[in-house]
Amino acid sequence: MININKQKEEEFYAKKDFCFSYSSLNKLLFSPSLFYKDYILFDREVRTDKHLIEGKLIHCLLFEPNQVDNKFSLMPGKSPSDNIRKVLKDMALHTDAKTLVDCDDFVILDSLKTLNLYQSLKADESRIAKIRTEDNEPYWKFLGNSNIDVVDQDTLLRCEERVDILKQNEDVMALFDEVQTDFDLDPVETFTEKYLKSELIDCDFGLHGYIDYYKVDTDKKEVTICDLKTTGKTISDFKETIDFYNYWLQAAIYMKLVYDTLGDDKEEYTLNFKFIVIDKYNQVYVFDVSDNTMHDWAGGFSGAIKTAKFHYTSKNYSLPVAFLENKVTL
């Protein structure tokens, strides 16, 4: 019998169309074995963290307000906690029950065991009681009717307030208020939530990603790329946040993706990158990335692609490349 993991690996490589995103490349750099599990075996946990969903909703409200109803489902009442949502989403993969009352006990217990939640409660009845509650029923109902993110009214109002704060910031709106016409020769073209894909020289994989916002001025030969970040810290901590989450890698990927869309005169263009940040206190700041910093990030990006090429070509995801190429001593 063919090993199921080996079979999934063969199917992954047989497609020959894999493109790294910021998320997948960052995951590979963090842990090759975790990348292998998530992207090659496709055994990925669905993230339901409230702060992630709120970040996505703020992006949508700001850049694609007409898509909110297509990407989010508004439920009555309050949304359950992160842990409860994880359990309910996992349960939804294994049952068609319309209500939690109709859901078999073993489905609830299996999901709790898989996620290692509430295992300190000794009795099965106590664990089940954590999930099968009247407060959780609305979320379960909406979860069963939709594959999109579910938010409650409080979350929607909170995100709408934060978007209003962003729109009231002069520095932010100065980036978006470029006057455009319907005239074909308008020198400024803007893009929001734009999907881009790019090939890489001497690599069997490519890059792809969705760019929050960018504009191209063909007269001035300038490109401005903007990425919105919501952070649970403060704007004073954002430099450390960039390093912690490797946002420098995301910026370098987006610069590469946009650069490859330019014409034959692309080398004449100046590319500018900006982070639009709103922190936990609703302070808003636009961070400009200097040429020197961008040059350093581009160097890090080249190293990341070299690492990705090693793992992708060798099909060895057991350890980080530094541990595979050399003996690491303390």
Residue 65: pLDDT band by 50, 70, 90 thresholds?
very high
Whether pLDDT at 2 is above 90: no
How remote is the C-alpha of 280 from its chain's centroid? 19
Whole-model pTM: value is 0.81
Nearest CA-CA partner of 60 in 281, 210, 257: 210
Percentage of the residues of the chain whose pLDDT score is greater than 90: 69
Longest dimension (CA), the chain: 71
Residue 227: pLDDT band by 50, 70, 90 thresholds?
very high
pLDDT at site 170? 94
Residue 138: pLDDT band by 50, 70, 90 thresholds?
confident
Nearest CA-CA partner of 301 in 250, 239, 242, 244: 250
> Which domains, from first to last, does the chain contain?
50-163 (no CATH), 170-320 (3.90.320.10)
Q: Work out the average pLDDT over 74-99.
A: 84
Whether pLDDT at 96 is above 90: no
Give the burial class of 276: count Cβ atoms within 10 A of its Cβ; 0-12 exposed, 13-18 middle, 19 or more buried: buried
Q: Worst-scoring range by mean pLDDT, 172-176, 291-295, 314-318?
A: 172-176
At 310, which amino acid appears?
F
Residue 310: pLDDT band by 50, 70, 90 thresholds?
very high
Whether pLDDT at 311 is above 90: yes
- Average pLDDT over the chain, rounded to whole? 90
pLDDT at site 1? 41
pLDDT at site 300? 97
**Most confidently predicted of 94-108, 185-199, 207-221:** 207-221
Residue 48: pLDDT band by 50, 70, 90 thresholds?
low
Q: Work out the average pLDDT over 316-325.
A: 92
**CB atoms inside a 10 Å sphere around CB 27:** 19
DSSP one-letter string for 22-49: HHHHHHHHH-HHHHIIIIIS---PPP--
Whether pLDDT at 180 is above 50: no
Residues 248-302: tens digit of each pLDDT: 999 999 999 999 999 899 999 999 999 999 999 999 999 999 999 999 999 999 9
- DSSP H helical segments within 180-266, as ranges? 238-245, 247-259
Residue 181: pLDDT band by 50, 70, 90 thresholds?
very low
Q: Work out the average pLDDT over 51-67.
A: 92
Residue 42: pLDDT band by 50, 70, 90 thresholds?
confident
Task: Output 243 or 138, whichever has higher pLDDT.
Answer: 243
